[in-house]
Structure 1
Amino acid sequence: MHKHLAQSVTESDTGRLFIDGDWFPNPLPANIELADMAYPDTSYSFTTFFSEKPVGFSLGYASGNYGHSMFTTGKNGEIRVGRYVVLQCTRIISNLLVSIHDHCMFSWGSVLTDSWLTEQTQAPALRRQMLEAAAHSPNRHLEMTDPQPVVIEENVWVGFEAVILPGVTIGRGAVIGCKTIVTEDVPPYAVVVGNPGRVVRYLEPTDVEVKE
């Protein structure tokens, strides 16, 4: 975990980091990585973060979590956020992997999830088994049986209350309209709207690759 953040933090005797002035005075999880100039906002965003991965969450250089986005993970969940990414009141749910590349923007109320109830998980016997397991777990988190990774490529803009469902890859430079439900892969530079989402036009690729 990095301490050169866009917020002032204090390290406890046990090495845990607290955001100074945080209204929810819990430490940040020990298994997250925050790059220089990252803005994690508040530890409240991690109240449903149960990842047991060595690094269950990473926030890249100059990326920010604003308006206390919520990061919900199961024990095998992982969330990777690249550089210069804006998360505005965004909900990310992972039981496997949600990966966001550089220069992306997410409006308030948007949701990304790699887990969903399928016909199989809605079968009465399996649903009963899953609920019983959640009831006896220390955090009452429902571990989904068939998560599918979500990938957001560079320079994507997601509108407010849009929902990105499991197994979806959104191509570079795409725009997802407000309240759109994305159920399948989106081509690069596509503009997608509706429920289910459909491509209504393509943008001119005017962005360029950034050389390191």
Structure 2
Amino acid sequence: MHKNLAQPVVESSTGEVFIEGDWFPNPLPPNIVLEEMAYPDTSYSFTTFFSEKPVGFSLGYASGNYGHGIFTTGKNGEIRVGRFVVLQCTRIISNRLVTIHDHCMFSWGSVITDSWVTERTQSPAIRRQMLEAAAHSPNRHLESIDPQPVVIEENVWVGFEAVILPGVTIGRGAIIGCKTIVTEDVPPYAVVVGNPGRIIRFLEPTDTPENRQKAFAMLN
């Protein structure tokens, strides 16, 4: 689970795993999976990680968390990150499931969340119940009542300080512009900008299996 990473780790006598030379002293959570050549950066990224799932977080082959990105989860939250993904100071919030597929890139300050204020949680009585529950929980985490899964398909580029809201699926090869607020599904190869996000153009697909094989052939 923590072998052959891009950062060396050490295991304590109690079985806890630490990133060698980490400026933050906490161990990595036991219910995360880091594939070969993954770069978790720092255990500080998991200070608000409260998932009780068997695997609450996974970071795929050669993927990296850079700039102290933060992974916030409730007890039922789960974050899945594919292969060759760049998370640059990215905040991911999950009370259900956030899935990021291979070859995606997230610029600094981007936010992905499967939890938000809904018509139900706007009720004063519901808000009071949520706040009282958080006050009595061991970690003071405010669990969302209506989380909706988020899916980022392969080869998506998200610009700095963009926000992807609950229930959204972003199609393969799409580009999300800087500071864009994404409130609904984005089709493949669309370029989306603004608040709320709107499609301004579509890209010509260049990441087809045929083009990929051509690129590999040029490297051999």
TM-score for both structures, normalised by structure 1 = 0.98
Letter in 1 for 2:190: A
Q: What is the match of residue 35 of structure 1?
A: 35
Q: What is the match of residue 161 of structure 1?
A: 161
Q: What is the match of residue 135 of structure 1?
A: 135
Q: What is the match of residue 61 of structure 2?
A: 61
Match of 1:18, SS state, is strand
Consecutive unaligned residues in structure 2, runs of 5 or more: 214-220
Post-superposition CA distance 1:102-135 (Å, at most 9, x none): 0000000000000001121011000000000000
Q: What is the match of residue 171 of structure 2?
A: 171
Letter in 2 for 1:90: T
Q: What is the match of residue 218 of structure 2?
A: none
CA RMSD in angstroms comes to: 0.9
Q: What is the match of residue 146 of structure 2?
A: 146
Match of 1:10, SS state, is strand
Aligned partners of 1:14, 1:36: CA distance in 2, in Å? 23
Question: 2:2·2:9 contact (CA, 8 Å) conserved in 1?
Answer: no
Q: What is the match of residue 113 of structure 2?
A: 113
Question: 2:51·2:78 contact (CA, 8 Å) conserved in 1?
Answer: yes
Aligned partners of 1:16, 1:198: CA distance in 2, in Å? 46
> Deviation at 1:12?
1.2
Aligned partners of 1:60, 1:128: CA distance in 2, in Å? 39
Post-superposition CA distance 1:151-187 (Å, at most 9, x none): 0000000000000000000000000000000000000
Match of 2:45, SS state, is helix
**Greater CA drift, 1-10 or 24-33:** 1-10
Q: What is the match of residue 7 of structure 2?
A: 7
Consecutive unaligned residues in structure 1, runs of 5 or more: none
* CA radius of gyration, larger in: 2
Instruction: Give yes or no for the alignment of 1:52 onto 2:52.
Output: yes
Aligned partners of 1:139, 1:6: CA distance in 2, in Å? 30
Letter in 2 for 1:64: G
Letter in 2 for 1:200: I
Aligned partners of 1:151, 1:16: CA distance in 2, in Å? 31
Letter in 1 for 2:73: T
> Deviation at 1:14?
2.2
> Deviation at 1:15?
2.0
Letter in 1 for 2:198: R
> Deviation at 1:2?
2.4
TM-score for both structures, normalised by structure 2 = 0.94
**Greater CA drift, 34-43 or 202-211:** 202-211
Question: 2:90·2:106 contact (CA, 8 Å) conserved in 1?
Answer: yes
Structure 1 residue ranges (4+ consecutive) displaced by more than 6 angstroms after TM superposition: none
